Amino acid sequence: MEWWCNSIVLQIFADLVLTIAVTVWDVLPIVVIIFGFQLFILRKPFPNLKNIITGFLLVLLGLGFFLEGLEAALFPLGKLMAQQLTDPAFIAGDDVGRILEWWDYQWVYLFAFAIGFSTTIAEPSLLAVAIKANQVSAGSIGVWGLRIAVAIGVAIGIALGVYRIISGTPLYWYIITGYVFVLIQTMFAPRSIIALAYDSGGVTTSIVTVPLVAALGLGLANTVPGRNPLLDGFGLIAFASLFPIMSVLAYAQLSEWIARRSKKAPA
């Protein structure tokens, strides 16, 4: 049982090297732009150049490991799971062949909610923004508070997006209603959170969330009767980028309200 000389394990390590190489290749334009501007326009050397290069290399190496690990462990299982859960044979249970209604998909909704929440917590871009927001706000915005608020938003968004695919209602109704909600919330939210809330919409859908959520959307659009995978499989990412805006604004309003209430209360 020498598992380490097992060919699958060797394959994973070979893929790791390849993934790191691809990450380096993808990042090349950014490096050229940054050093081009730094050398020719700003004409200033970077202070701590050694640290910066070490940091950059750590990011590349880290992303390589991260992506390869996801490919080897979580994506195959998660994608297979999305397929199995959306399979009509699984949803109908013992009563094969009956017509499925939207409430028959309860496991799919639960899976959508849970996978939206958990992939968002693991999303490195969101972690980066949360760390920065924590530094800038001098600690008044917690790294975990923000991440959980965003994750709840994504979870609700994806669950609702799944309902939309199953019910076949037009995507733009939801998105435009969402916009109206965001604008109303903006009027009442504390000023300092608004830009961060808008940002959290864009950062959540990245390397962990997109592949799993796309598999879920595609699985549903393929198996729900009357859906066209090319037209109806899309839209989950849009939900996942819209709902965190609302949940972060709500989180800010809630924490402001709690702070005000505890101030009013006699010491």
Partner 1 sequence: MKTLKVIWISLFDSLRDLLPIILIIGFFQFAVLQQPIPNFGEIVLGIAFVVIGLALFVQGLNLGLFPIGETMAYAFASKGSIFWLLCFAFALGFGTTIAEPALIAVANEAAIVAANGDMIENSEQSLASYAQGLRITVAVSVGIAIMIGVFRIVMGWPIQYLILIGYIGVVIMTVFAPREIIGIAYDSGGVTTGTITVPLVTALGVGLASSIEGRNPMVDGFGLIAFASLTPMIFVMGYGMVV
| Contact set for partner 1, span 124-143 (CB under 8 A) | 124-125, 127-129, 131-133, 136-137
* Sequence-ordered alpha helix ranges (H) in 168-235: 171-188, 194-203, 209-223, 229-232
Token duo for residue 108: 């799919």
Other Cβ atoms less than 10 A from the Cβ of 168: the count is: 13
Told to check if 84 binds partner 1 by CB under 8 A, we report: yes
Residue closer to partner 1 by CB (options 12, 267) is: 12
Residues 115 and 154: their CA atoms lie apart, in Å, by 9
Tally of helices (H runs) and strands (E runs) in the chain: 12, 0
Task: Single out the segment in contact with partner 1 by CB under 8 A; choices: 34-42, 97-105, 255-263.
Answer: 34-42
CA 208, 211, 213 angle in degrees (round to 5)?
95
Q: Considering only residues 14, 48, 98, 254, which one is a binding residue for partner 1 as defined by CB under 8 A? A: 48
Token duo for residue 261: 């209430």
Q: Considering only residues 10, 14, 17, 37, which one is a binding residue for partner 1 as defined by CB under 8 A? A: 37
Told to check if 111 binds partner 1 by CB under 8 A, we report: yes
Told to check if 158 binds partner 1 by CB under 8 A, we report: no
Residues 129 and 192: their CA atoms lie apart, in Å, by 15
Q: Considering only residues 89, 192, 254, 259, which one is a binding residue for partner 1 as defined by CB under 8 A? A: 192
Told to check if 219 binds partner 1 by CB under 8 A, we report: no
Told to check if 195 binds partner 1 by CB under 8 A, we report: yes
CA atoms within 13 A on the CB side of 255: 14
Q: Considering only residues 5, 41, 96, 267, which one is a binding residue for partner 1 as defined by CB under 8 A? A: 41
Told to check if 177 binds partner 1 by CB under 8 A, we report: no
Task: Single out the segment in contact with partner 1 by CB under 8 A; choices: 95-103, 235-243, 254-262.
Answer: 235-243
Residues 91 and 104: their CA atoms lie apart, in Å, by 7
Residues 68 and 11: their CA atoms lie apart, in Å, by 11
Taking the complex as a whole, the smallest distance from the CB of residue 267 to partner 1 amounts, in Å, to: 28
Q: Considering only residues 100, 134, 206, 227, which one is a binding residue for partner 1 as defined by CB under 8 A? A: 206
Residues 61 and 34: their CA atoms lie apart, in Å, by 19
Told to check if 21 binds partner 1 by CB under 8 A, we report: no
Told to check if 169 binds partner 1 by CB under 8 A, we report: no
Burial tier of 258 (Cβ tally within 10 Å: 0-12, 13-18, 19+): exposed
Give the residue carrying structure tokens 């380096």.
Answer: 24
Query: 92 with 104: CB under 8 angstroms?
Result: yes
Task: Single out the segment in contact with partner 1 by CB under 8 A; choices: 92-100, 168-176, 256-264.
Answer: 168-176
Give the residue carrying structure tokens 């995978």.
Answer: 229
Q: Considering only residues 85, 216, 246, 252, which one is a binding residue for partner 1 as defined by CB under 8 A? A: 85
Told to check if 27 binds partner 1 by CB under 8 A, we report: yes
Residue closer to partner 1 by CB (options 84, 98) is: 84
